[in-house]
Structure 1
């Protein structure tokens, strides 16, 4: 039988067990809570790590995108620079090349292919020396290429040979550059054809200037002779009676001397380089003058025929330039004839308007029966420096000058030619109406003449000219002292500066020139008129006359006609009484 004490003991035991179980469960709960916290912390750590990983990945992606963009931009910039470099190379005014130390072409432009005629594949397989003919040019280029690699730079002028074999003068440069650690040659080549043409033109201009200078000197000497001849002929003619049989011969001599004087004037006009002065004038006299200059040059086997109309044909022209055109054309015609001779025809004609809409034209034709020209030559005859003559015998400038002169006159030049059938050059110019001359004024100033008794100091180193001048002056009633030594004449003037009313001096004399005499006279007596006589009045003499030291210029070949009027004008300008 269970007692109350046992029940209490059992209850205490149950409560103790319950308490222990509760404690155990609490411990388990705490363990579970701690584990849960650890799990939550681990999960949070994983989440944080995942979040950080995602952020890192995003940063990496952004960095990769930025890097890719920057790379794309760099590639675009590089491509732009490459395109610019390519465009620059292709736009260079010449050939461009890049060559390695083994002589292989690494780069060149399209102009290189265009000039040489080789395609890219062919150029890439060639050596630089393949573009030069064997001989001095190739050897020189080889030496200059080697110099680039040893000294850093070189240049050379040589004939650049194309695929078809023709050679063009070129100027080449070379500069050493380092590419990928290896030396290369980079350079350019420029065509020298135009420069050589300009150099040839300059030489021609200098030659023409030399011809002009020579013509001036020759003209002076010839005019000395002609002045003396004409003066003596005039004096002799006056000394002979009208019925004297020798007067006819004197007249022929006088005509011949006048023709010679005119020929010298034409030579001087032809050699001078003056501005074109076009005026309306008849063409027939211009043609006759040109033919007169040409005839003495032609061989006897060459027949020169001139056909002029019975009526005058007028045009606005520069006579000297048209004469030059005719001389060039006729000279070319002569050179086209065989050695056995031939014929040159010069024809002037007027072309009447057709249909009322075209102006009247003048046509000058120069034709020959020489060798003629084929179409290739005919199409190039007016190109500067083009010539079919052997080297050293022709400049190729004659017909280009002709073409330029005709164009400057508002005209044209037509060429008709076939091989073996001669050539025909037709110059067509606008025709002009006959010029209207102004009526002669009735109140013209009379021709100045020196007063009788005028004292003249005449200086000329040519004794013949001095003698003729003295007789002409004394015949006109003037007192003349003639000296052939300028120093002696100046000494006389220094001894008595008032002894003379006027000084007439030759320009071209040994030791002292005419301008030296003018300066000395001006220093001794500033009011004393000085006249300079010359067979060739050049720019220096004109400048001297303009500065006041010379009061008159006299063309020596016209001494007979102009000596006394020129003295009269100088005296009048100085205020000295005249007749």
Structure 2
């Protein structure tokens, strides 16, 4: 225990008592002792006592003050040591300059940052160890703090001359004054914020990228609060796709806006997000602001914004893609049907050729009053109906390309109307001006399309009505909604006033074998779709139940008009070789027999052969005789032998002016539609009749 305070108290008490005693003793001594000598001795003793006691008191006081001074000095040194240690340990730069900019002190971080020791810094200015521009910059901001009279915050880019790298300091500069308010220096504290600044820049750049992506993305992007599904933000793509503006949706939910066509899809999405935190490629239907349904492909993910869970959703309008997929599926169905048709068409048409040919020949030998004439006519009609069905099947077959020539649209329309509406209670209105452009098409196939549409219209108006047919020229640009090649087109509209087509059926009407009629076979509109597509056009349908149906057809046109007389008068570029002998090449014996009978009936001399090799040899031999062949009718497909295409090439190499006619019931390529490209002068489809032979042979120059 420290006893100094107790001793000090005793000394002080003693001194006080001594002083009292001295004061009182003088009066007492004078009053009691009258001897001056004794009084002088006592006074001397009192003086000595006062000096001793006062010295003791001063000794103890000085000792006490010295102890306190030592303690204060020790504590001051300790405090200074702590402060110095603290300043040196601070990860920021700390420095002190006098008012003239001379460094008085700095910490270790300052040394490390500038790569200089304290001895190289103290007593110097910025101009001694950094470039002038940077030193001017430092001095400018030092004076700025002095002028402000308070701490100032700056961001200072430092460029190091040794390696050229950059660093960014965030500095706080404070003017330092003494007790009299006089400026004695500037205290600086700096922090290297290069990495932080880079992170902030990267974050800002990332945010800018997100904002740009969010704002300008063509997809619909929306952010909803997870808790209640409330819309927080949507982009322009959302407004463009859904029709809802930002003001329409912010603060509301999708259920309030009735956006989901099927609410169960929303429930599925919510459950998937709850289980996994994300959902990818959800295909669902959305309801636009105008009530129209669109198909969307949606992905969603849970994100956190300011500590609150949200859902960010990205949706793409795939309505057109779904339409293309339906079209592709439709084409795949037609392709499958085409493969089936292709497999049977060749033999089927050969058989039909035998049937129709024999019936045709039989009728030529019978009087019209013969009792067999009527049954034979009925049989021929049935066979021709079978031929029409086969022709529809062939439309889907690969290689069933149209055999095109220049045709007049008005002529085909009027011909179809006169054939189908004759005697019916359906009124026709034809609005096709003389300025309508002609087009190249397979007249038989296009007639089949018009027939099917007109027949459907009459069936839809059993009690009568009006069928309006409109034709217009139209130019389609590069970005037309029909996805057709840009150019000149013919637009034909067939509008009836019938019962209309229900929504569930209208998407299926072009599917093979789909029909709502008890007597239909479901191939009419399917074949129409295939024919128009193969002609480079498109066919669309719209319908309102109870009001009627409208078919719109686009076909590439020639961009100029042709009258019917012009079409029929188109010249044939062939030689004028005259003859009466015809060579028929076909692998089917029945077809050869029928062809021979028909041609002989027309007055031709006929030679038949089985394949191309034999036809080439026979043609060479006949060319050397007095009776060369006037024409050669060649079957395109010869299983296991040389077909018409290869045989024609061999004949034309030696006899380039030969009249060659290609014949087929089915073809894998486009020879039938582009026969001239292969050297043929004409084409004839199976099953054929006497009139078919007569037409094609009479078209040849003599």
Indicate whether 1:465 and 2:585 are aligned: no
User: For each residue in 1:13-40, what CA deviation from the matched residue of structure 2 results, as whole angstroms up to 9, or x when unmatched?
Assistant: xxxxxxxxxxxxxxxxxxxxxxxxxxxx
CA 1:123–1:235 in 2, change beyond 3 Å: closer, same or farther? Answer: closer
Q: Does 1:196 align with 2:322?
A: yes
Could you tell me which residue of structure 1 aligns to residue 547 of structure 2? 423
Write the mapping of 1:347-426 to structure 2, written as runs, cut at 5 A: 366-368=496-498, 370=499, 388-389=503-504, 393-394=508-509, 422-424=546-548
Partner of 1:518: 647
- What's the TM-score, normalizing by structure 2? 0.45
Shift, 1:202, TM fit = 2.5
The 5 Å alignment of 1:144-155 reads 146=276, 155=280
**Aligned partner (choices 271, 278, 281) of residue 411 of structure 2:** 281
How far off is 1:171 after superposition? 2.6
- 1:522, 1:549 within 8 Å by CA — same for their partners in 2? no
TM-score under structure 1 length normalisation = 0.52
Structure 2 counterpart of 1:507: 636
Cα distance in 1 between the residues matched to 2:412 and 2:645: 43
Deviations 1:118-153 (A, max 9, x none): 944455999xxx9985589827972897286xxxxx
- Does residue 58 of structure 1 match 2:144? yes
The correspondence of residues 45-444 of structure 1 with structure 2, limited to 5 A, is 56-59=142-145, 64=152, 67=155, 85-86=210-211, 88-96=213-221, 108-110=233-235, 115=242, 119-122=249-252, 133-134=263-264, 138=268, 142=272, 146=276, 155-159=280-284, 169-173=295-299, 188-208=314-334, 223-240=349-366, 245=370, 249=374, 252=377, 256=381, 260=385, 263=388, 267=392, 278-281=408-411, 283-289=413-419, 305-307=425-427, 316=436, 324=449, 327-328=452-453, 331=456, 334=459, 343-346=463-466, 366-368=496-498, 370=499, 388-389=503-504, 393-394=508-509, 422-424=546-548, 437=565
Q: What CA distance in whole angstroms lies between the structure 2 residues aligned with 1:508 and 1:84? A: 63
List per-residue Cα deviations over 1:316-356 (Å, max 9, x = no partner): 48787687467447637857x9xxxx535455799xxxxxx
Residue 604 of structure 2 is aligned to residue 480 of structure 1 = no
Q: Is the contact between residue 637 and residue 643 of structure 2 (CA under 8 Å) also seen in structure 1?
A: yes
Structure possessing the higher relative contact order (Cα contacts under 8 Å, 6 or more residues apart): 1
Tell me if 1:456 matches 2:583.
yes
Could you give the per-residue CA deviations for residues 542-571 of structure 1, whole angstroms, max 9, x where no partner exists?
48844546565333344524547867989x
Contact 2:665 2:685 in 1 (8 A): yes
CA deviation vs aligned residue, 1:492-545 (integer Å, no higher than 9, x gap): 967996378665332345444734662796599777875431235775224884
Asked if 2 retains the 8 angstrom alpha-carbon contact of 1:448 and 1:569, the reply is: no
CA RMSD between the two structures = 6.9
CA distance in 1, matches of 2:219, 2:407: 42
Count of residue pairs the alignment pairs up: 451
CA shift in 2, pair 1:95/1:446, >3 Å: closer
Of the two, which has the highest radius of gyration?
2
Q: Where does structure 1 lack aligned partners over 5 or more consecutive residues?
A: 1-48, 149-153, 293-302, 351-361, 373-380, 382-386, 573-577
Q: Contact 1:160–1:167 (CA<8 Å) still a contact in 2?
A: yes
Find the counterpart in structure 1 of residue 664 from structure 2.
534
Change (3 A) 1:277 1:181: farther
Is the 8 Å Cα contact of residues 170 and 190 (structure 1) preserved in structure 2?
yes
Q: Which residue of 1 aligns with 2:34?
A: none
1:207 Cα deviation from its structure 2 partner: 3.9
The separation in 2 between residues aligned to 1:107 and 1:208, in whole angstroms, is: 48
1:284 and 1:313 in contact (8 A); partners too: no
Change (3 A) 1:230 1:119: closer
Residue ranges of structure 2 left out of the alignment (5+ in a row): 1-97, 103-138, 157-167, 171-196, 471-491, 515-524, 554-560
